[in-house]
Amino acid sequence: MPSDPQPPAHYGSAPADPHAQAPVAPLEHQIAALQQENARLAAELEALRQRSDASAQARAAVIRGGAKVLIPILDRYGVVRAFSKLTQTVSAYAGPREQWPPRDQVLDDARQLGEAGVRFVVRRRMFVLLFSLIATAIPVIQVYLVVQQNEIIQNQNEFFRIQVYDVVSRSMTEGNRNARRMTGALLANAEPEFLADVVQETFDPELSGVWRSEGEGAAVRRLEDAAFRGYLAHAVRRSIDNRLAAGAQWDELSPRAEAMVARVVEDAADRVPQVLALGAEGNRTGNELDEQVDFYFEQVGGVLRLYGRIAKTTGEAEAFHADVEKLLSRTQKMRLAGNRFALAYRVALEGFLLDVGGGASLEDPPLSPPGETNERDALRSKGIDALRSAIGSDALDWDTVAEQGTAP
């Protein structure tokens, strides 16, 4: 009889689990890391909560401190309560003797009443002092703000003046004839201080020096220098005339106005002979530039007339005669025959001599030249005689001055 078959070796044993051999150590490490991270976050959260509580406590302490300072200051009922307590204690003496309060209690209530009264007075004075300091500080702050605003306004005015300087300089140097004429008209209505600063710097003798030999014969540059100064001389004359016509007194305009006029005449003593010398050369530089130079001579004559009127009004003619002598002594050496600027110079000089001969002052209206030749000659001779007596008969060749000051 055959024997029973033997079962396999693994028969009756538990089946093999594929996950039974998976490692568990990495999972434990991850769980431990998560626990540490949770603990750290919990600690940080607790620290934030504590800081928040500390901040809240600090704010509460500040509020309580302010309340302790302000509320007792405003609390006037402490005196009433202390007085009420003392009255209640003392009223017990109206009852039986055995119910009388002890003396120490009466003294303690009286002491509390006195302290409450003194505390109330002191706190009220402190309260008034605090608000007095605040009320005093507000005007001080306002004054400080006003001072700061004034400084800002002054800085803005300085920047505005710089911009105006730039516009004026560009119009006078880069603009055409009409632009220069318009700028001169606007300067005539500008503030006297502003115009005086411009004239003092523009007609400064230090700015008119020629250091190179080729510059002496640079006719165009020298004539351009004279041309644009004619518009400034026009602005000086018209500025003073406009303010005098508006009712201003001469004392209100001097000494800056007289300094402007003197500076123009002082510059003309050097510039007019240079321009006349260039006009005698015969080489024309252009009709437009020559026309502006003629305008310069006209304005120099107008400033000379104004200078003479100022000297006549103020009675201080020494500086005026010195400047006129300097100008005439240099121009009388120039030959005007064939000079293309001769007519403009003659007209300007004649107008000046006629004005001096008429003895006009600032209060007098502008002089109208006589139409008759004899009257003009007589008035011109009178002006020359007045200058001769003031400057000196030997200081100048007065016959040459009379000949140059005779317009056709």
Pick the most confident of 14-23, 276-285, 316-325: 316-325
Say what the pLDDT of residue 85 is: 82
User: Which own/partner pairs from 130-135 qualify as long-range (CB within 8 Å, at least 24 positions apart)?
Assistant: none
* pLDDT tens figures, 305-341: 999 998 888 888 888 999 999 999 999 888 888 888 9
The mean of the pLDDT values for the chain is 80
User: Residue ranges per domain, the chain?
Assistant: 53-174, 177-404
Say what the pLDDT of residue 348 is: 92
* pLDDT tens figures, 250-273: 777 767 888 889 999 999 998 999
User: Which own/partner pairs from 195-202 qualify as long-range (CB within 8 Å, at least 24 positions apart)?
Assistant: 195/235, 195/236, 195/239, 195/260, 196/256, 196/257, 196/259, 196/260, 198/165, 198/168, 198/232, 199/232, 199/236, 199/260, 199/263, 199/264, 200/259, 200/260, 200/263, 202/229, 202/232
User: Residue 301 — very low, low, confident or very high, per pLDDT cuts 50/70/90?
Assistant: very high
- As a whole number, mean pLDDT of residues 357-376 equals 79
Q: Is residue 215 pLDDT above 60, yes or no? A: no
Say what the pLDDT of residue 12 is: 44
* pLDDT tens figures, 173-186: 776 778 888 888 87
* pLDDT tens figures, 32-67: 888 888 888 888 888 888 888 887 787 777 666 655
User: Residue 70 — very low, low, confident or very high, per pLDDT cuts 50/70/90?
Assistant: low
Say what the pLDDT of residue 9 is: 46
What is the value of pTM for the model shown? 0.61
Measured between alpha carbons, how far is 92 from 94 in angstroms, rounded to an integer? 5
Q: Is residue 5 pLDDT above 50, yes or no? A: no
- As a whole number, mean pLDDT of residues 230-242 equals 89
